[in-house]
Chains A and B, each alone.
Chain A
Amino acid sequence: MDASLFTSMLFATVVAGTPLIIVALGLLVNEKAGVLNLGAEGMMAMGAVAAFAVTHESGNPWLGVAAGMGAGMAMAALFGVLVLTLMANQVASGLALAIFGVGLAAFVGKPYEAVALQAVPPIRIPFIADLPLIGEALYNQQALVYFSWALFWGLLWFLHRSRAGLVLRAVGESPASAHAIGYPVIRIRYLAVLFGGAMAGVGGAFLSVFYTPMWAEGMVAGRGWIALALVVFATWRPLRVMVGAYLFGGVMITQLFIQGSGLQIDFPSQLLSSLPYWATIVVLVAISRNRNTIRLNSPVSLGKPYRPDA
């Protein structure tokens, strides 16, 4: 492999992994508070379409990202009302959110299907972007790539070094005890759910405004579900989310590079495109086969409704 190919593959891997990192880290916080939101795909789709529409109308991609974040949060709020206030089943409500979000996004996005956006130029970090091999790939990137790294470090600190993070984890492990000590369990869970929605919205915005500056129905293509799988794969640890997301990014772009390389290989492109989905299944199996890994690491109250007895 020559150096420039390596650099461009690394670049593409980082780009492909970024939305997964942002969404999966949001879901991780969500799940650490004990709430399982399977609606990530729907929140991403809404984030993507809102960001695209606002960017298209205003010409400002950052307004677009803000709109995507807002749309994701609005969807998450809907989910929150169902499962936190009305104590509906989390699995069913999450599925409803996924189906509804994808449908609503298709509906809202119809007028934007044939429009393209101007590509947003990357931000070059002086000096380190000149590093050989990796400089161009890592430090001449979209702003949201740097955001995903900041999010990772911020979350590491928040979850393991801050008091608020400790409270969040307590709410996910044992809501009854957290309530007994006097923490507002439901309010904290709302905040976590809204954070998850905000990040899913930003992830969607990254897809439609930066990654492929366009909107098409179904463009999220299962990334919300893959992000959910990533959180399990990472056993609820931010570092493993990062590693996993880049592995997936690598799988996604490898098949693109093979298809685009002009190598005359006799393998149909559609079957090659299914690789990331098979990869998701394989890692799920790899991590789940030891029952204890999941049992020891998942937040104890994950998916269980909690209602403080007044």
Chain B
Amino acid sequence: MLELEARAEPSRLMSWASPLLAVALMLVGGLVVFAALGKDPVEGFRVFFLNPVKDLYALSELLLKATPLMLCAIGLAIGFRANVWNIGAEGQFMLGAVAATGVALYFGDSESALVLPAMVLAGAAGGAAWAAIPALLRTRFNANEILVSLMLVYVAQLFVSWLVFGPWKDPDGFNFPQTRMFAEAATLPIVIEGTRLHFGFAIALAALVAGYAFMNRSHAGFRMRVAGVAADAARYAGFSAARMIWLGLLLGGAAAGLAGMGEVAGPMGQLTDKVASGYGFAAIIVAFVGRLNALGILLASLLMALLYIGGEQAQQYLNLPNSISMVFQGMLLFFLLGADVFIHYRLRLRRRGA
């Protein structure tokens, strides 16, 4: 019978191959799903996986979708490396969007060149402030950051709906839950003419580079990696656990807040109650599939963006609910977690009783 046998050392090959294996399994799974839903699998595959990359405009939309995922995921990865489980990027994203919207609504009409930089700062600060709550409660009172950061997602969602149904509602918006459109000075410039791809993409790429530098080239990043791999060694070396929790959560929150800012100042141009639309949760998958490193996250965010857009395409052309994206995204993470077993174990054929 087949048995798992522990490897003497973790396989480097498998730690790179397992995301690829997971993607392959997800594609096969996708064909099965389409067949099970009574759709032609080949047609389904084409619409879901190939339509999103069929021309330059489609590709620009892919990069647009990948932008918030990349930003949130690189921030989360820093914490995850040190076993700081910030699950509330979704809420931090919303608070970043709210803070940036505040700047846009109150100062956007000034046409000052300082409005956008102020929005960037406000977005990062808003996200970081929201993440500071679980950091404070964890370091001060030992409260589990998973549950606290998650509860704050619901609070943030209700807060956003209060704003857009109440004080910030667009008076000329026919009662839709949204603010008025931002002024020109509060909107991110477009980077490729004729598309919606905005300057936030450049910010996200810069964040990836910064995240790489922090994790691999800074002493603080090194300490966090040690803490994640060997908590006892980190404690023995005198690395402050509290500082890592603060760093992990604040950086994650700031990155998610920036992503929120990028959405309201980019493709949306206003704040609505659907601002976050699951990016913060999807980013958790991106971080894992990307192996918690910058290059991996870049690729994984493109893949996840593809799954988002594939879902929209499936809704349009195959008459399937677009929540099918979440099914594929979940499947991807499951396959990855399953494939990861081969990093530490190998399959061995063994006769019973041997």
**A contacts, CB < 8 Å to B:** 38, 78, 81-82, 86-89, 91-93, 95-96, 99-104, 106-107, 110, 217, 221-222, 225-226, 228-229, 232, 268, 270-271, 273-274, 277-278, 280-281, 284-285, 288-289, 291, 294, 310
- CB A270 to nearest CB in B, in angstroms, measures 4
Q: Please pick, from A88, A102, A225, the residue contacting B150 in the complex, using a CB distance under 8 A.
A: A225
**5 closest Cβ contacts across the A-B interface?**
A103-B326, A100-B330, A270-B162, A106-B323, A110-B321
Interface Cβ pair total, 8 Å cutoff: 134
- CB B211 to nearest CB in A, in angstroms, measures 19
* B183 interfacial by beta-carbon distance below 8 Å: no
Bound-complex Cα distance A302 to B345 (A): 22
CB of A100 within 8 A of CB of B154, answer no
Which A residues lie within 8 Å of B158 (CB)? Answer: 270-271, 273-274
Q: Which of B113-121, B218-226, B336-344 interfaces with chain A?
A: B336-344
Q: Please pick, from B3, B151, B161, B165, the residue contacting A281 in the complex, using a CB distance under 8 A.
A: B151
Q: Please pick, from B143, B284, B324, the residue contacting A99 in the complex, using a CB distance under 8 A.
A: B284
Q: Please pick, from A107, A228, A229, A291, the residue contacting B326 in the complex, using a CB distance under 8 A.
A: A107
In the complex, residue of chain B having the shortest beta-carbon distance to the beta carbon of A81 = B338
**B contacts, CB < 8 Å to A:** 3-4, 85, 87, 133, 137, 141-144, 146-148, 150-155, 158-159, 161-162, 165-166, 281-282, 284-285, 288, 321, 323-327, 329-331, 333-334, 337-338, 340-341, 344-345
Bound-complex Cα distance A173 to B77 (A): 31
Query: What are 6 pairs between A and B in contact, CB < 8 Å?
Result: A38-B146, A96-B330, A270-B162, A271-B158, A284-B143, A284-B144
In the complex, residue of chain A having the shortest beta-carbon distance to the beta carbon of B341 = A86
CB of B334 within 8 A of CB of A82, answer yes
CB of B337 within 8 A of CB of A99, answer no
CB of B331 within 8 A of CB of A222, answer no
Which B residues lie within 8 Å of A284 (CB)? Answer: 137, 143-144, 147-148
Which A residues lie within 8 Å of B165 (CB)? Answer: 270
Q: Please pick, from A270, A280, A288, the residue contacting B142 in the complex, using a CB distance under 8 A.
A: A288
Which A residues lie within 8 Å of B337 (CB)? Answer: 82, 86, 88-89, 92-93, 96
CB of A82 within 8 A of CB of B338, answer yes
Which B residues lie within 8 Å of A270 (CB)? Answer: 158-159, 161-162, 165-166
- CB A142 to nearest CB in B, in angstroms, measures 25
CB of A232 within 8 A of CB of B326, answer no
CB of A103 within 8 A of CB of B155, answer no
Bound-complex Cα distance A102 to B3 (A): 33
